[in-house]
């Protein structure tokens, strides 16, 4: 099944490679805009649609691993901001602040950043929702068409880069997930207590500590993170850890960014549908992007080619999910 998503702005940037981009040296407005196309596949039993385009089937007949849906979409990435005259303070608006290509969680960011002489660079930011993503009201409904409902997330993030003049970096984020009509398990005749266990709303918290090693043409950033998916439903909630590695190579005429991550997540309570099983999962993710400046000799322009892959391997087959996306973009700095 091939689908077209005409409006979704999907970023495949390897955000794990850097905590914060270098501060602009000149005061005033600056940033970049890039647009292109992306294609790939999505597998999910919970995602319904994005900007009106189906991401999974309305009707299912058994509780099994999800099927595959192929999509073609526009791909956009931007970051615009203003640097004040002291050249130490900047406000910015950007997309792709918190990215999860597996469940289409893409937050925008509105941040205020200041570089302190001794402490390092600190940014306080609001995480903005990305509209147009829908999930199934009752993803467990069998044999009849399921209804979709809006899902969004908002929150905040603090980033502390170059702590005390070192390569140490801290990123802490909290997002609140809201589902307009959460009715998980309603079609199965479950009790109110059992339905509460399946509630997908709640808080997603993460604290990451990384260190950027500057090795000349190559920068390497290992990181560890604590994860608390504190969802209202105990059978959906998880906590665990993440280990990741980012790498940036500045070659002759191009920049190559990569990140790889692994998460080990433990579910809190038994699922009332899949008796005796919890939402334990292992999550794998990889992203790679090549950026080429001044293609065809065009001043201030750049091109990027990106690949992003993620897979959620859950103990409960129904909770499995994955996505693979490839993107090409043309952009301009200003």
Residues 194-241: tens digit of each pLDDT = 999 999 999 999 999 999 999 999 999 999 999 999 999 999 999 999
DSSP label of 129:
P
For residues 139 and 151, the answer to whether their CB atoms sit within 8 Å is: no
Band (pLDDT 50/70/90 cuts) for residue 99 is: low
What's the chain's Rg over C-alpha atoms? 21
Residue 153 CB burial class (10 angstroms; 0-12, 13-18, ≥19): buried
Q: Per-residue pLDDT averaged across 95-101, rounded?
A: 66
Q: Specify whether the backbone of 315 is left (phi greater than 0), alpha (psi in -120 to 50) or beta.
A: alpha
pLDDT over 60 at 2, yes or no: no
Rounded-to-integer distance, Cα 219 and Cα 151, Å: 37
Average pLDDT of the residues of the chain = 90
CA atoms within 13 A on the CB side of 251: 9
Q: For residue 73, list its beta bridge partners.
A: 38
Q: How many helices (H) and strands (E) does the chain have?
A: 1, 19
Q: Which pLDDT score, from 0 to 100, does residue 98 have? A: 54
Rounded-to-integer distance, Cα 230 and Cα 205, Å: 7
Band (pLDDT 50/70/90 cuts) for residue 244 is: very high
pLDDT over 50 at 60, yes or no: yes
- Measured in whole angstroms, how far is the alpha carbon of residue 313 from the centre of its chain? 17
Q: Which of 96, 73, 79 is nearest to 29 (CA)?
A: 79
pLDDT over 60 at 14, yes or no: no
Q: Which pLDDT score, from 0 to 100, does residue 174 have? A: 95
Phi, psi of 88 (to 5 degrees): -125, -10
Q: Which pLDDT score, from 0 to 100, does residue 272 have? A: 97
Query: Collapsing DSSP states into helix, strand and coil, what is residue 138?
Result: coil
Q: Per-residue pLDDT averaged across 294-322, rounded?
A: 95
Rounded-to-integer distance, Cα 185 and Cα 208, Å: 34
Rounded-to-integer distance, Cα 175 and Cα 202, Å: 8
In CATH, what number is assigned to the domain containing residue 152? 2.40.160.40
Pairing of strands 68-83, 2-4: parallel
Q: What is the pLDDT of residues 112-155, one digit of tens each?
A: 999 999 999 999 999 998 777 899 999 999 999 999 999 999 99
Residue 276 CB burial class (10 angstroms; 0-12, 13-18, ≥19): exposed
Count the domains in the chain: 1
Domain that holds residue 249: 2-333
Q: Which pLDDT score, from 0 to 100, does residue 80 have? A: 95
Band (pLDDT 50/70/90 cuts) for residue 74 is: confident
Q: Tell me the pTM.
A: 0.91
Rounded-to-integer distance, Cα 298 and Cα 292, Å: 11
Band (pLDDT 50/70/90 cuts) for residue 22 is: confident
Q: Which of 47, 68, 10, 17 is nearest to 246 (CA)?
A: 17
CB-CB neighbours of 125 under 10 Å: 23
Where is average pLDDT lowest: 90-104, 115-129, 295-309?
Answer: 90-104
């Amino acid at each position: 099944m091939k689908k077209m998503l005409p409006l979704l702005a999907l970023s495949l940037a390897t955000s794990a490679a850097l905590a914060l981009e270098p501060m602009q040296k000149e005061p005033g407005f600056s940033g970049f805009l890039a647009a292109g196309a992306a294609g790939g596949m999505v597998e999910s039993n919970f995602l319904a649609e994005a900007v009106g385009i189906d991401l999974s089937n309305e009707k299912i007949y058994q509780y099994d691993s999800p099927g595959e849906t192929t999509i073609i979409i526009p791909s956009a990435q931007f970051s615009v901001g203003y640097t004040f005259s002291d050249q130490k303070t900047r406000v910015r608006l950007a997309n792709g602040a918190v990215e999860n290509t597996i469940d289409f969680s893409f937050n925008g960011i509105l941040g205020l950043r200041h570089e302190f002489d001794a402490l390092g660079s600190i940014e306080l930011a609001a995480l903005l929702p990305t509209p147009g993503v829908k999930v199934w009201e009752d993803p467990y409904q069998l044999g009849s068409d399921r209804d979709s409902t809006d899902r969004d997330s908002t929150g905040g993030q603090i980033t502390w880069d170059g702590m005390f003049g070192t390569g140490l970096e801290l990123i802490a984020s909290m997002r609140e997930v809201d589902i307009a009509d959460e009715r998980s398990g309603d079609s199965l005749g479950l009790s109110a207590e059992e339905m509460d266990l399946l509630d997908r709303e709640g808080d997603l918290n993460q604290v990451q500590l990384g260190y950027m090693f500057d090795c000349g043409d190559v920068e390497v950033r290992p990181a560890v993170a604590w994860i608390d998916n504190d969802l209202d439903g105990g059978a959906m909630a998880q906590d665990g850890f993440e280990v990741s590695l980012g790498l940036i190579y500045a070659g002759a005429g191009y920049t190559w960014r990569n990140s790889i991550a692994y998460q080990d997540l433990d579910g809190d309570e038994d699922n009332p549908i899949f008796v005796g099983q919890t939402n334990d999962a292992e999550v794998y993710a990889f992203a790679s992007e090549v950026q080429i400046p001044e293609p065809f000799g065009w001043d201030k322009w750049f091109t990027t080619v990106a690949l992003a892959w993620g897979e959620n391997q859950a103990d409960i087959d129904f909770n499995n999910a994955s996505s693979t996306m490839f993107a090409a973009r043309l952009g301009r700095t200003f």
